[in-house]
Structure 1
Amino acid sequence: MVEDRIREVFARAGAEGSLHAIPVGGEPDCDVVTIGRRAARDTVAAGEGAAGDEVAVGADGPVVIASIFKVLLVLEFARQVAAGQLDPRERVRVTAADRLGGWGTAGCADDVELSLRDLALFAISVSDNSAADLLLAHVGLDTVRLLTEELRLERTRIVGGPRDVLQSMLSEVGARDETEFALRYPVIPEDRKRRMGVLDPSRTNASTPRDITRLLRLIWCDEAGPSQACAQVRELMARQVFRHRLVSGFPDEVAVAAKTGTLPGLHMEAGVVRYPDGSCYAVSVFARTRELAASRPAVDAAIGTAARIAVDFLRRRGR
């Protein structure tokens, strides 16, 4: 069975994985994929199994979404721009106090000034935590929460932005800043690390693989907001620079628009793969490893392999 093959892929990489994959048709016309989806879901119990229009492995179990949260954030930003509530050209200064570490402006040594729309670009393309945090200050956390309700992402829970996640990690190890965290974290016992709130779906931003593919389908079908807002999110996700997870599983001619997420022991990516014939498939993959390492190339490759197995199954069923 396809589900067993997917589980074996993760087991060989030393991880446990969950996945959901569905066809979404060619953007932005996705009407054909709505036929039979409810019936297919009813035949797949407890998030396990494969039906004609989905592959599900633990698809309804709660998962930490980490930086995949930024897709919701940027979608809400694009919706507010389309509604005339925000000016995408508004300038924002990223100062030392705003830096959260990591890629993009989050790791800059000096102050940087850029527009709101470039904050959105950096948040998605390089997963810039500072850019996402400043963008969230303009968009509003409550509006992002309301967005999940509007889109009927019933298992998605948003508790905060990147700064909230960082502060949670600092407080749990008793560190005042990232430098002190880097010194304290390695010597913390493994069992204590595993109990950290950022790794617990009940205490941090969380969803399910099925909810995330629903979000992607709505974006690709222009059903998550105004068409220009959905198009902007699709375009930004296509510009993500990280190519080591979903992209690794597909041939060069297959385009992938996606967003990664990473925390110690958690590796994930959600995106849409588009074949030259125009067919598209939304895939969300979440892996949890036994070792709490942030870098696990074998697990990253397993995410791509599992996604390819699921999509190949859907393509065979669709013929």
Structure 2
Amino acid sequence: MSPEQRIAEIFAAAGVEGHLHALDIAEGREIAVRADEQVVIASIFKVLLVLEFARQAAAGQLDPAERVLVTAEDRLGGWGTAGCADDVEMSLRDLVHFAVQVSDNTAADLLMRRIGLDTVRMLAAELGLERTRVIGGPRQVLESMFADVRARDDAEFARIFPTLSPERVRGLRVLDPDRTTSSTARDVTGLLGLIWRDEAGPPEACAAVRDYLTRQIFWTRIASGFPPGTRVAAKTGTLPGLHMEAGVVEYPSGERYAVAVFARSGELPTRRLDVDLAIGQAARTAVDALRAG
């Protein structure tokens, strides 16, 4: 049985529609399963955002220590500063840390405001990510969700969302790759490969992004498939029925593999440990095949 067939079986056993691309960063060999189909990337777009921050910092266009006040009007709900009860002041550099470590949407939104949406879009074009489309920061995504369910704010959305039928939820723009921030598994691993080869910007900028991605606290997806001794630097993305992660697996021997896995479930709960573990299993299957030549 081919690696692609084994990966397809892993997705089928978890009851998900899966997309995967794994890339040997040094040699360019790959494993692809529906890797060129457009998929929602959710918070994985933050890799591109953080890269642009690091490039601007390296070029002296911004000061990473610049102070930012996070107020009640900025809070979008969720992890990190997004869920704080009071105003918080921190540096741009620490906003990046929170945006990656706990996928803080407020931190990412403030970074997008400082860096500029058009600049992020131009970066994607410069790097040749032809299938990557960024509609905006987390605030724009959240506003589209509010509008689709006719909610005025996050409190009203929280009341309405549990009452929606699965069909209504799946009709949200945020779950449609043609109407929200999206890319392909191949484009995403291409971006990671450029970062790991120091080809996505100045070497110090690429090194900074690699360091940030090692700090993510979530481990149940790609990292769950690999043994101790391997290092996984990655970024998750999650929306109702969508589970995804992209990252680089590094072995002590120096081998490096970029992997992007996207799983669409027929069920809407965002906490699906079985799907998370299937993502890790699929990633490990792909990387093992590449290591075996």
TM-score range, shorter chain: over 0.9
- Partner residue, 2:40: 64
- How far does residue 11 in structure 1 lie from its aligned partner after superposition? 1.2
- Partner residue, 1:4: 5
Separation in structure 1 between the aligned mates of residue 155 and residue 114 of structure 2, nearest angstrom: 28
2:203 to 214, 227, 236: 227
1:148 to 124, 142, 149: 124
Secondary structure, aligned partner of 1:97: coil
- Partner residue, 2:23: 22
Q: Number of matched residues?
A: 292
- How far does residue 95 in structure 1 lie from its aligned partner after superposition? 0.7
2:55 to 58, 65, 79: 79
1:14 partner amino acid:
G
- Partner residue, 1:263: 239
Separation in structure 2 between the aligned mates of residue 185 and residue 156 of structure 1, nearest angstrom: 28
* Higher mean C-alpha deviation, range 7-16 or range 230-239: 7-16
In the alignment, does 2:159 pair up with 1:158? no
Separation in structure 2 between the aligned mates of residue 190 and residue 264 of structure 1, nearest angstrom: 10
Aligned-pair Cα RMSD in Å: 0.7
TM-score after normalising by structure 2: 0.99
How does 1:1-319 map onto structure 2 within 5 Å?
1-25=2-26, 33=27, 37=28, 53-317=29-293
Separation in structure 1 between the aligned mates of residue 150 and residue 248 of structure 2, nearest angstrom: 39
- Partner residue, 1:29: none
- How far does residue 192 in structure 1 lie from its aligned partner after superposition? 1.3
Structure 1 residues 269-309: Cα deviation after superposition (integer angstroms, max 9, x where no partner):
00000011111000000000001111111000000000000
Separation in structure 2 between the aligned mates of residue 191 and residue 305 of structure 1, nearest angstrom: 29
Give the share of equivalent positions with the same residue, in percent: 65
Q: Deviation above 6 Å: which 4+ runs of structure 1?
A: none
- Partner residue, 1:48: none
TM-score after normalising by structure 1: 0.91
- How far does residue 14 in structure 1 lie from its aligned partner after superposition? 1.3
2:129 partner amino acid:
L
**Structure 2 gap segments, 5+ residues each:** none
* Higher mean C-alpha deviation, range 277-286 or range 182-191: 182-191
Secondary structure, aligned partner of 1:224: coil
Secondary structure, aligned partner of 2:232: strand
Separation in structure 2 between the aligned mates of residue 9 and residue 16 of structure 1, nearest angstrom: 10
